[in-house]
A and B are shown apart, each in its own frame.
Chain A
């Protein structure tokens, strides 16, 4: 097991390094110069020498490989640099956003899990009924519908027409539980419903497959209660592929729900990523992408571990 973990850890580090190289050079191909984003696109009144001074201050006058190595060296020491836009430490900007992103991620995952797995299981148990068809059809719709459209429709319906939910903003749950929850409902639903649909479809098919297994028939023939058969025998075994999807979803929602955070003015990492990209604020972009990558890598890593625990055969393969 230790060997397996070390192997996965090594792979994760390699992936992390590759991501850092790709993103570092990719963001510099964006046709937006951070200096002009700072002084205005016309740089009216600035002499070329002053522009170069600012460029030097940001370290952008050095060759790219040197910049990269310098960035890696600083990052390894925990120094993620200063934002070009406001000279604030990037790590502080990220820290302020993480609680909001985590809150949204937890909310979205809760919706995905509650709606996805429950409807998937019910659909499997009522296969070919109108409930099954409704659930499957809804899942297709939820997968197909763009997040921004769903968010807008929810804002219009629940916020404007019914007036029962706030249309934007965020408060941390621990600061104001009721208001925090009300503000969380729409963005979490808009972000989580796509995952719920995916989980529903996966749960349904996995459950159907499991329910056809010999051991289920054996359990029934031994007179085990149906409830026990489903929950103890079938559900647990059908969760294996669901866990994989959950791991991928966790990485995604932690990585910054760019669209949803922008739509609902949710001050998380996704929103910060958008504003930083618009201003070519390289240090902030790098930090967010690395955090997102780390979230995905760690989520996958944990998923792999969970997988090996759920199915011991994987450990020994």
Chain B
């Protein structure tokens, strides 16, 4: 029957078979190289090698390498020198590195990106006024400032700028360019996303061609490191006149970094090419690099395995891909730049009672949290509210409020008995603002269910469900409020969240995170309405830390603040520091290889692509 049928329809079958064979032939035809396909699909022609101009006088920073600028106030005349990094023996030049990441680039104007979203590529495009390395040390190889001075009232900062720097559009970098960029960012009408980073600057003055003076509205020493973020990166005023912000969003803002935007195709890729006149002679080693937007992390893993890309970003929640790549030849880069914490609403009962906050601490099994949600790759240490990379981390040998559900329940029972309640605790009390608070925008609230608030992302929902189960097990009754957490100001100012799951990445300087966690406008304080004595004490420490240029004193003050927060105030349940993963294939090398810390900016988890090269 089958033979008869085949005979009858032989011509159609032959056509069908021919089609299948054609597909197979075409599939195999171009498969002589693992990365051919994607390369053809994604690569761009590398720019031809450009002769570097003779080294011009390059001023040297007046501080020794590794010296923290916060403690440095002395200045000296700039000295002409080249970059102080010796060229590695096995260095190879040329090639285009491909980095697979989430579709993230909605445009390519770095002044309109938050640090987490745009830092990776922005740090390859611009060299900011100041730049910082792994231990909050001044990274001169990325800084436009070669020295700086601080006035006696600590509110005027004078920077000597690097000379001989060319912008991507061929114009010269100088104090006027830096001022133009800073003024643009600071102008509220421009609604620059980076403005908050440097908002304490109230005046920028050009002293001479390579000297600029910044006046800050209050003594706020973290401004130095804030200038190491995108807000401190210059862009060409000439290009601005021609293109404006909308043009920059499509073409990239010509800046002064080792790479410049060559092409942006939304949802597909952003191509960067080496800046031919980059001031740091010899850098970058690559002809260019490509930000390939690959939406699925498993596909990114597969692309890395096949060699279609050289670097892949893998979220910690994709534990399978992380495990598979770890088991293979890929080189892992791990940075613990994120903090996961569930803030309490300390302004309202029952969380205004320390016993209840301790119970919440003891309710959560952090090891299980780490194992289930991060595949065991997170850090569950409890001492610090900051990642361990910055030198500001506070550690305790033994955390007094580790997982102990029995004790947690005892505390809640004690609290409930005292208040005439029965477990589970289901509601938060009503809140009445004082007259002063009301004048400042505080709104009275009625009694509300105890809720856990977070965004609607799958990762956060899973996390919320996990934590709610543990809180409920000891005597809370937590309702889920998913999707509301995107609007932090609304959630916290209106104080209607009981537990709010937050994730934080840190900045070059941790002050921003400290303020968010613990300051009067911070999260646990729910808009600043808490009257807890510890809140005021914390605020005083934070203000003192932000007002000193003495680095060691500042570190100690921030550690004191963390200790107070984690052991006494207990503003939230920290679960773990989550890792950020990159994997590279064996083709990727860098200065200091194979030490991955040597090529990362741990503060924002971006990479020094200008120090990387491809082996083949």
Bits for B4-34, please: 1 = Cβ < 8 Å to A, else 0: 0100110011001001000100111111001
Overall SS of chain B's interface: helix
Closest to A166 in B: B37
Across the interface, A45 reaches (CB within 8 A) one of B31, B195, B245, B250, namely B195
B488–A152 touching, CB < 8 Å: no
Bits for A126-160, please: 1 = Cβ < 8 Å to B, else 0: 10011100000000000000000000100110111
Overall SS of chain A's interface: helix
B2–A227 touching, CB < 8 Å: no
Contacts of B306 in A (CB 8 A): 159-160, 163, 167
Bits for A261-282, please: 1 = Cβ < 8 Å to B, else 0: 0111101000110110001000
Query: Is residue A88 within 8 Å, beta carbon to beta carbon, of the partner chain?
Result: yes
Interface size, chain B (Cβ < 8 Å): 65
Closest to A47 in B: B188
Across the interface, B267 reaches (CB within 8 A) one of A38, A156, A272, namely A272
Of B411-419, B479-487, B524-532, which binds chain A?
B479-487
Q: How far is the CA of A121 from the CA of B6 in the complex (A)?
A: 12
Closest to B40 in A: A179
B489–A42 touching, CB < 8 Å: yes
Nearest chain A CB to B291's CB is how many angstroms away? Answer: 12
Of B170-178, B273-281, B295-303, which binds chain A?
B295-303
Closest to B295 in A: A262
Query: Is residue A3 within 8 Å, beta carbon to beta carbon, of the partner chain?
Result: no
Contacts of B295 in A (CB 8 A): 262-263, 265, 271, 274
Asked whether A178 and B26 contact (CB < 8 A) given A42-B488, A118-B12, A183-B37, the answer is: yes
Contacts of B346 in A (CB 8 A): none
A164–B31 touching, CB < 8 Å: yes
Across the interface, B114 reaches (CB within 8 A) one of A40, A181, A271, namely A40
Q: How far is the CA of A76 from the CA of B203 in the complex (A)?
A: 47
Bits for B286-313, please: 1 = Cβ < 8 Å to A, else 0: 0000001111101100110110100000
Interface size, chain A (Cβ < 8 Å): 71
A275–B267 touching, CB < 8 Å: yes
A131–B294 touching, CB < 8 Å: no
Query: Is residue A214 within 8 Å, beta carbon to beta carbon, of the partner chain?
Result: no
Query: Is residue B106 within 8 Å, beta carbon to beta carbon, of the partner chain?
Result: yes
Q: How far is the CA of A85 from the CA of B8 in the complex (A)?
A: 59
Q: How far is the CA of A147 from the CA of B298 in the complex (A)?
A: 15
B249–A88 touching, CB < 8 Å: yes
In A19-41, the 8 Å CB interface with B consists of 30-33, 36-41
B2–A131 touching, CB < 8 Å: yes
Query: Is residue A86 within 8 Å, beta carbon to beta carbon, of the partner chain?
Result: yes
- Provide 19 A-B residue pairs closer than 8 Å at the C-beta atoms, listed in order of the A residue: A36-B486, A36-B488, A37-B486, A39-B193, A45-B196, A45-B197, A86-B107, A88-B249, A93-B266, A125-B9, A152-B298, A163-B31, A167-B306, A168-B299, A168-B308, A169-B38, A169-B292, A272-B266, A279-B106
List 19 additional A-B contacts (Cβ < 8 Å) besides A37-B486, A38-B193, A170-B268.
Answer: A31-B483, A41-B487, A45-B197, A83-B106, A85-B107, A86-B266, A88-B107, A118-B12, A131-B5, A164-B27, A167-B299, A167-B302, A168-B41, A178-B29, A226-B8, A263-B295, A265-B294, A267-B265, A271-B267
